[in-house]
């Protein structure tokens, strides 16, 4: 099914993630899942590793999911999705079904960058036919805001606190897109729910390719990033407009920018809107601006707005 989403009229009205779940107020992960499921449709099965989404959408005996859904451990979402894919392939061979099932594995940054990377790498290397979605809120949020390898440089978490001898997180964010693309997969893309049509169209393209696809979605977290609950969508836009989170896709090894940024916002605007960066000094902000400038050069983003 090839569909292009351009306006609200293109979107199905049915909501496949029910209201009333227990995600935090202002959480952008719920918005992300709503958008992904609208693009995927009802003929979808979701494999969800432990994380914010799992604990907040499936309080026993209730579930917010209106598609088949299964909870698995932090480390094996990609393995279980592989098993479902092979089970469906067996049914195709035996002519017991001709139904095309969308298989989506869903994990946070902890379950993707850290604990689940072995199973994910194996699935990508084997060429399994499913879409892996990483919702990235840049820390282990539902267990107390501990750092992960997705936590950006200088961010404060409970396990990377700033102080006299520390800037907070002392390493740069791991480049999961580069790791996924290095497996030679047919499709990989970054996305953000602040740009819904971009995310939904990438979801559809990811589902339509044969073989594995990887979607890396930035999901601003009011709780861990420490901003007002009304600001999640604006925070995602700032991440894109500053050049810290370029929106692009890699199709058969070729990179294409999907959202142009003619004039970039200064990184200071993004950092000062979040409590996790409130300890930064001007020289620290300048260092992060240099990192954003390097990303802008790599992806052909516009000059910095003065």
pLDDT of residue 306: 78
Q: How far apart are CA 155 and CA 270, in angstroms?
A: 12
Q: Summarize pLDDT for 110-128 with one digit per residue, the tens.
A: 999 999 999 999 999 999 9
Report the CATH number of the 14-299 domain: 3.40.50.970
The sign one gets for the Cα dihedral 61, 66, 70, 71 is negative
CB burial class (10 A; 0-12, 13-18, 19+) of residue 112? buried
Q: How far apart are CA 61 and CA 306, in angstroms?
A: 54
Which band of pLDDT confidence, cut at 50, 70 and 90, is reported for residue 195?
Answer: very high
Pairing of the two strands 44-49 and 102-108: parallel
pLDDT beyond 60 at 142: yes
Over residues 180-189, mean pLDDT:
98
Phi and psi dihedrals of 6, rounded to 5? -125, -30
17 - beta bridge partners? 65
pLDDT of residue 60: 87
Whole-angstrom CA distances from 24 to 27, 47, 78, 170, 231 are: 5, 21, 26, 28, 13
Over residues 224-245, mean pLDDT:
98
**Residue located via tokens 């067996």:** 90
pLDDT of residue 2: 58
Q: Summarize pLDDT for 20-67 with one digit per residue, the tens.
A: 999 999 999 999 999 999 999 999 999 999 999 999 999 889 999 999
What mean pLDDT is reported for the chain? 96
């Amino acid at each position: 099914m090839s569909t292009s989403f351009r306006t609200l009229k293109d979107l199905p009205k049915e909501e496949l993630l029910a209201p009333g779940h227990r995600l935090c107020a202002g959480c952008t992960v719920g918005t992300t899942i709503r958008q992904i499921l609208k693009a995927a449709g009802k003929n979808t099965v979701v494999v969800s590793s432990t994380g914010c989404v799992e604990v907040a959408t499936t309080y026993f005996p209730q579930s917010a999911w209106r598609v088949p859904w299964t909870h698995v451990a932090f480390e094996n979402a990609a393995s279980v999705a592989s098993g479902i894919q092979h089970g469906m392939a067996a049914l195709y061979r035996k002519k017991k079904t001709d139904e095309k099932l969308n298989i989506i594995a869903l994990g946070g940054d902890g379950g993707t960058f850290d604990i689940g990377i072995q199973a994910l790498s194996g699935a990508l290397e084997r060429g399994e036919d499913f879409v892996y979605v990483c919702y990235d809120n840049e820390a282990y949020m539902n267990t107390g805001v501990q750092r992960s390898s997705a936590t950006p440089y200088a961010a404060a978490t409970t396990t990377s606190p700033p102080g006299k001898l520390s800037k907070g997180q002392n390493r740069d964010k791991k480049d999961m897109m580069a790791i996924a693309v290095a497996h030679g997969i047919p499709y990989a893309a970054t996305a953000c729910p602040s740009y819904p049509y971009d995310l939904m169209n990438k979801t559809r393209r990811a589902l339509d390719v044969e073989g594995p696809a990887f979607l890396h979605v930035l999901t601003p977290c009011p709780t861990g990033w420490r901003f007002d609950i009304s600001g999640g969508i604006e925070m995602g836009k700032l991440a894109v407009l500053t050049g810290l989170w370029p929106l692009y896709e890699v199709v058969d090894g070729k990179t294409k920018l999907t959202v142009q940024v003619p004039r970039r916002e200064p990184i200071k605007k993004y950092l000062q809107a979040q409590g996790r960066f409130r300890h930064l000094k001007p020289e620290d902000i300048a260092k992060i601006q240099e990192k954003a400038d390097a990303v802008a050069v790599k992806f052909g983003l516009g000059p910095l707005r003065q």
